[in-house]
Amino acid sequence: MARNTPLDTEIARLRSTHEYYDVYVNQWFDYITFYEGGKDLLNKKYIFKHTRENDADYTARIKRSHNLNYCSVIVDFYTNFIFAESIEREGGTDETFYREFVKNVNKKGDTITDFMRTICTDLQVFGMLYILVDTPELNVSDAGSVLSKQQAEDHGLSPYWILMHPDEILDWITDDFGSFIYLKRCQDIYIASPTGGKRRVEKYTEWTGQTIKISYVDVTNPRSPEILVEWGQEKPNLIGLIPVCLARFKKSKKYRGMGNSFLKDIVYNNREVLNLTSLIDEYLYRQCVIAGTLIDCPRNLEKYPYGVPIKELVDKEFLTYTWLAEEERFTLRRAHSVRKTGNKHEVWRLTYAYCDEYNQVQTGYLDATPSHPILLQTGEYIALRDLKPQDKLVPFNSEDPKIVREANVNHEVVFVEFLGYEDVYNMVVDDTHNFVANGIVVKNCFNILAKEKESLLPMVGADEGSIGTSNLWEFPQGGKPPVYISPPSGPAEFLQQERANIVDEIYRQATQDLRGDLANGSKSSGFSQAQSFSKTVPFIAERADTLEELENKLMGLTFKYLNKKWSGKVSYKDDYSITNITDAMTHLLMLFKDLALPSETFAKAELIKLAQMLDNKLPQEEKQKVTQEINDLNFSDWSSSIRSSSTSPAAQQKPKSTGTIAEIAQEAKVGVGATNKLK
């Protein structure tokens, strides 16, 4: 049995993690994955397999799935709202250095606003972040304990900020006040190999108040990690403390020192939306073509020269042309269960081109649900919406339905596009499960197998289609024996309603009554916004306070490197309830027209406050001038003009009720009482 070497023990120590890290690390991965969305969500980790769904159906469903991303919409809304307002920043006694520093705070070209904006977003996503304040190495013998301002200027070594996500910080120790006395960071980096190619290396940085230790582990071969001893460094911590600020979105009560994500519950509701959307798509996948789609079958050629509209075949049994893949030819099979499968479903148009017998280019089209499977000459069925230009289709070009001919091979996709919403139809074709619609081969809907409850699945007729969640329906014992039926639209409507309910819950969890604002990207105004915004405003203000406190702490550490004390000021907006001129006017008119407040001091204070909130980018001299002009106003003339004005926006927009059940009930009682009194 092989014994661990000291280097093996050191690698194990470097890779060791804090117990709370192990609790949170998988959650962090889920948060960022759902925020970023895309194909990383379309896998077996997030889309669940259901009872009786076979592997092929499950894999196909995952492949067709798409995500409705509410996480990024909500997070970005708050970030955009906060940073739509200007932030007051002053450098204090070192204004010149400060103005240069804020232009590039991370040595990557990000301004301080860009950097804090990223923090605002990432803090909501991960729930906690670490920001390191560091300086480049100063290779001079008289560096001293900290950088002087002159040294920083002479060597271009001003401090800079590094944003570290929580999954990078493997372990830590804090004192009784929450300050770090030990911190370990791991970074995955790639370096050029002397023999060509690249090497993957884990870089570990360990801080204490006295030292900074850097270690490198080569993991190019994951099974044989190797410490790069010659690269290791250990140097004194010249600043005497660990220059890292911890920011938390919401402090965890269960895990001391940890922060909980804004998306903590929203993510898993979004996952449910993903699964419900997948099931809806699976159901709609079985629904097909519009009423006028022409079906190629034996028929009266004078009446139906190009095919019989599927709507005219409802509830009929007949022979239809179908494609035998194994023999690569058309034949006749029984068609049945033709019926309407949905009302006003989303419909796309497939336009294709082909050459006729005179070698002239012609076009054809098929209107169907976007997920309807279309057969390609490769033998693969592809959803209509996923077809690409020049994909080769399998057409049926026989003019005489009694003659079965080989399909031409020159039918190609031109483009696919959204068409609108129409009623859709489908049918069942025995054995082959495909038919010819508008001249090309498409798949029919899967049947639903009706099975008596508590009975065994039948073994006979397995070729009728695979058994899965979208094609099995159980009926009570004592009913009719198993038969194949076409799916009703009710289940899809139920799934859509359930999805809508979960989306409502997502917005409730996000403290938002602003679904319209999120949908159209704008902010409504007036009294109605004040009502719907009542819960959101404190939430935004709290986020702004967190960012303001963090930015001041970071500037304090930055100036500590320069052996100076931060004397500047950072101030985010305190009140987000007023967002535009209309809101400001509504606010004023409510106070001094509707309520007729007589206080001159209060009126002027409100005017000054609103002026500063709506245009706090004005230079200080102009702000002072505006304040002076407001103080010089003749209050009697101003209040008289307000009271004599037309109906205020507040009166125009004021709703009957503020919305709570208790208030509505109370208003109803008052109304009834007044009516009785009049009688």
Taking alpha carbons only, the member of 359, 317, 311, 356 closest to residue 334 is 317
pLDDT at 456 over 70: no
Residues 6+ apart with CB under 8 A from 505: 269
pLDDT in the model for residue 23:
97
Question: 3-class DSSP state for residue 549?
Answer: helix
Place of tokens 């929450």: 178
Taking alpha carbons only, the member of 363, 346, 342 closest to residue 415 is 363
Q: What is the pLDDT of residues 593-650, one digit of tens each?
A: 555 666 778 777 777 777 766 555 567 777 788 888 888 888 777 777 766 655 444 4
Q: What is the pLDDT of residues 44-65, one digit of tens each?
A: 999 998 876 778 778 878 987 8
Cβ count near 3 (within 10 Å):
5
How far apart are the C-alpha atoms of 368 and 335, rounded to whole Å? 19
How far apart are the C-alpha atoms of 324 and 304, rounded to whole Å? 24
How far apart are the C-alpha atoms of 338 and 441, rounded to whole Å? 17
User: b/e map of 506-521 (b: 16 or more CB within 10 Å)?
Assistant: bbeebbbbbeebbeee
Q: What is the pLDDT of residues 275-323, one digit of tens each?
A: 998 887 776 666 688 999 999 999 999 999 989 999 999 999 999 999 9
Domain ranges of the chain: 6-36+68-262, 289-445, 580-679
How far apart are the C-alpha atoms of 159 and 152, rounded to whole Å? 8
Whether 89 contacts 99, CB under 8 Å: no
Q: Is 40 exposed, middle or buried (0-12, 13-18, 19+ CB in 10 A)?
A: middle
Lowest mean pLDDT: which of 116-120, 210-214, 582-586, 675-679? 675-679
Backbone dihedral region for residue 438 (phi beyond 0: left; psi -120 to 50: alpha; all else: beta): left
Q: What is the pLDDT of residues 357-396, one digit of tens each?
A: 788 888 999 999 888 889 999 989 888 988 999 999 999 8
Radius of gyration of the chain (CA): 35
What is the average pLDDT value for the chain, to the nearest integer?
79
Selection from 272-281, 438-447, 484-493 with the highest mean pLDDT: 272-281
Which carries the bigger pLDDT value, residue 633 or residue 521? Answer: 633
Which carries the bigger pLDDT value, residue 107 or residue 4? Answer: 107
Whether 537 contacts 72, CB under 8 Å: no
Lowest mean pLDDT: which of 79-88, 171-180, 447-456, 460-469? 460-469
Taking alpha carbons only, the member of 118, 161, 175, 125 closest to residue 24 is 125
Whether 174 contacts 235, CB under 8 Å: no
pLDDT in the model for residue 551:
96
Q: Give me the phi and psi of 487, to 5 degrees please.
A: -70, 140
Which carries the bigger pLDDT value, residue 203 or residue 521? Answer: 203
Whether 374 contacts 384, CB under 8 Å: yes
Mean pLDDT of the region 65-84: 90
Element (H, E) at 427: strand 412-429
| 472 confidence band (pLDDT: 50, 70, 90) | very low
Neighbouring C-alpha atoms within 13 Å toward the C-beta of 646: 2
Q: What is the 3-state secondary structure (H, E, C) of 187-231?
A: EEEEEECCCCCEEEEEEEEEECCCEEEEEEEECCCCCCCEECHHH
pLDDT at 657 over 70: no
Taking alpha carbons only, the member of 371, 321, 296, 366 closest to residue 341 is 371
Which CATH code is given to the segment(s) 289-445?
Answer: 2.170.16.10
pLDDT at 205 over 70: yes
Lowest mean pLDDT: which of 125-129, 211-215, 674-678? 674-678
Q: What is the pLDDT of residues 129-183, one digit of tens each?
A: 999 999 876 443 343 445 544 555 555 568 999 999 999 999 999 999 889 999 9
How far apart are the C-alpha atoms of 170 and 14, rounded to whole Å? 9
Mean pLDDT of the region 198-204: 94
Q: Give me the phi and psi of 355, to 5 degrees please.
A: -100, 130
Alpha helix (H) residue ranges in 563-619: 581-589, 600-614
Angle (CA) 246 247 250, round 5°: 130
pLDDT at 488 over 60: no
Cβ count near 126 (within 10 Å):
25
Q: What is the pLDDT of residues 558-570, one digit of tens each?
A: 999 888 999 999 9
Instruction: Please give the DSSP secondary-structure letter assigned to residue 285.
Output: T
pLDDT in the model for residue 672:
37
pLDDT at 206 over 70: yes
**Which token pair is 68?**
């409705």
Would you list the DSSP string of 376-415?
A: BTTS-EEEGGG--TTPBB-B---SSTTS--PPPS--EEEE
How far apart are the C-alpha atoms of 637 and 491, rounded to whole Å? 66
Record the pTM: 0.65
Paired with 248 in beta bridges are 128
pLDDT in the model for residue 588:
59
Q: What is the pLDDT of residues 144-158, one digit of tens each?
A: 445 544 555 555 568
pLDDT in the model for residue 636:
76
Paired with 428 in beta bridges are 336
pLDDT in the model for residue 452:
44
- Terminal alpha carbon distance of the chain: 100
Taken in order 314, 317, 318, 322, the sign of the CA dihedral is positive
Which carries the bigger pLDDT value, residue 644 or residue 480? Answer: 644
Q: Give me the phi and psi of 530, to 5 degrees please.
A: -60, -35
Q: Which amino acid is at 330?
A: F
Q: What is the pLDDT of residues 113-129, one digit of tens each?
A: 999 999 999 999 999 99
Which carries the bigger pLDDT value, residue 248 or residue 463? Answer: 248
How far apart are the C-alpha atoms of 408 and 411, rounded to whole Å? 7
Q: What is the pLDDT of residues 180-194, one digit of tens each?
A: 999 999 999 998 887
**Which token pair is 162?**
């590094």
Paired with 336 in beta bridges are 428
pLDDT in the model for residue 251:
94
